[in-house]
Amino acid sequence: NSVTDNPVYVPGKGFLSGGHFHGQPIAFVLDLLSIGVSYLSSISERRIARLLDYKLSGLPPHLIRRPGVNSGLMILQLSGAALAAENRTFSNPASVASIPTAANQEDLVSMGMNSGLKLLHALENLEKILAIEIICGIQALEFLRPLRSSAYVERVRRRVRRVVPFIDEDQELSGYIDKLAAMIRSGGLIKGLPLD
């Protein structure tokens, strides 16, 4: 266990200066995690793009029955790309942006709070990107019927379909993304599903 106050008052011993204020090691780790989240975001976005590109997937353009009349899931790929691009900016390390504070008493500041906040935002973006990928993947499965996926994927598909219907015409999709992102965050998307 450790404390982060400096100096530390220890009853019977007085004040001890330990320098525990410096959070640089934690800031480094948080920045590194942001880089990993950015990379995962880009991987997921690329899979979304491949699913929606009929030349690559062999499926209807933008995973919609009547392309041209409807935009289909095209806007989801645009949203995923925007979120992935934002996560790339969050992968810039905050821990290197020290600014002296407290009349130069704290001349090296970890900026760990900024590292943590940008990681939090990046994780929220990643949840949305993964939700978009799941919506697109489940929509793609419908176009491959009567073929079936694995028993596990079919169970996940049924859970997704409880909150996201088959998209047959243009409509607002943000509510579906938010519901699915919440399921990802809570673990509810896969909780209790046996891995056969």
Domain regions of the chain by residue span: 23-186
Overall CATH class of domain 23-186 = mainly alpha
Check whether 74 has a pLDDT greater than 90. Answer: yes
Q: What is the pTM of this model?
A: 0.86
Average of per-residue pLDDT across 144-161: 95
Dump pLDDT digits (tens) for 108-140: 788 899 999 999 999 999 999 999 999 999 999
Would you say the C-alpha torsion 63, 77, 134, 182 has a positive or negative sign?
A: negative
Q: Which residues contact 1 (CB under 8 A, 6 or more apart)?
A: none
Structure tokens at 116: 């943590």
Structure tokens at 154: 């079919």
Find the radius of gyration of the CA atoms of the chain.
Answer: 23
What's the half-sphere exposure (Cβ side, CA atoms, 13 Å) at 53? 9
